[in-house]
Amino acid sequence: MNMHLAVADAASGESGERHTARGPVETPLPFEEVRRVYGSRFCRAMRMSESSFALLVDTLRPILPFGGVPAETRVSMSLRYFAGASYLDVCSIHGVSKITFYDCVWDFVDAMLLAPGLQMRMPLWNADWRRKTAAGFQARGDNPLTKIIGALDGIAIRQEMPSYTEVICPRDYWNRKGFFALNVQAICDHNYEFLWMSCRTPGSTHDATALACSDLGQHLKDPTHAVLQQVIAEGLCIAADEAYGDSELLATPWPGGGRGDEWRDAYNFYQSSARMHIEQAFGQLVWRWGIPWRPLRMPFAKRPLVVNVAFLFHNFCRSNDSQPEAGGQEPYWASDAVGNVDHNRKSGPETPRRRSGSAGSELRQRMTKRVENSGRRRPPVHRYQ
């Protein structure tokens, strides 16, 4: 045994490599060299412009560990990880080992979750924010529903089957569409930026139940909350689909397409026009970041953190890189593989049928009356032969 160790030590010494208990001591390439390797594809590889990349590095530099791998290298490797790249390719380009790569990724995830300027905010207590957000939804398509301050929906994020040592019942995470998933609830504004998200329920959970299990869902059920009372008094609401029960704060469609009532049908159209913002926000997130394209494979406890950081990335890019590309060309972060992505939005069982005689909440009746008073019917549908 000692002879074998001596031979191994001699071979290591001849090759000039130094080893520690965690493997060989590598020397990461300088970031300037990495930038040269990516060349003109750097922005597409990082899924953001160079100015945004520099801003993100400067924001996270005080939080990331000092020494060892430079902050620019940590950020670039992590962005490639969230873009869906293989760790083999990233390690090869940056000149690091697999252990160093994942250490940098998880340090980066912690830094993203701790950076105060990158966190999602839904300041319902701020009257000026409520006014501006409602005006933003109303300006999109000249919507007569002027009191909407958010769009709510859920998305199913694929994951590999959790083990019995990680969860009590892995079957709970089996989605009705036939894959293991996490049910993620989110609210966005008129600019497709996420205001709030929750990732704490299994994929088999119905959207309404997933919302009720979140901290926000608990607050929404408290009619004595001073902020909610102010929001309801101003007639403000959040647009949601039929999976959520209608209330004085959640505006949902009339069942059955209004059942022949033209003004209920018109309300459904304009409510859907506001609600589609969350669908488009989900689409932009999945299109830009490749990590949802395949089932999540990291330890189960880290999966909600990775999903949360992906949402933070989306907001950061919307705030800094939301301008369209010159000449209407393909965005630099687009990928050819995006055509094979399934958003898998619906994560629970089929929504139960509502009673046909239900009058709905007072909020929905008031909003329908507002559409009727505006005289805005549903635009005609042009059928092409």
d(CA 152, CA 155): 10
SS3 39: helix
Angle, helix 362-374 to helix 262-288, in steps of 10 degrees? 100
Of 347, 369, 128, nearest in space to 270 by CA: 369
- Sequential pLDDT tens for the chain (385 residues): 444 444 344 434 444 444 444 445 567 889 999 999 999 999 999 999 999 999 999 999 999 998 889 999 999 999 999 999 999 999 999 999 999 999 999 999 999 999 988 999 999 999 999 999 998 888 876 778 878 999 999 999 999 999 999 999 999 999 988 999 999 999 999 999 999 999 999 999 999 999 999 998 888 888 788 888 899 889 899 999 999 988 889 999 998 876 778 889 999 998 898 899 999 999 999 999 999 999 999 999 999 999 999 999 999 999 998 654 444 444 544 444 433 334 444 444 444 444 444 566 788 888 889 888 888 888 876 655 5
The pair phi, psi for residue 296, each rounded to 5°, is -65, 135
Rounded to whole angstroms, the maximal C-alpha distance in the chain is 92
Rg over alpha carbons for the chain, rounded to the nearest Å, is 25
> What is the enclosing helix (H) or strand (E) of 152?
strand 148-158
What 3-state class would DSSP assign to 376? coil
Find out whether 14 and 55 touch, Cβ atoms under 8 Å.
Answer: no
Sequence spans of domains, the chain: 19-118, 127-352+359-374
pTM of the model: 0.83
How far is C-alpha 316 from the chain's CA centre? 11
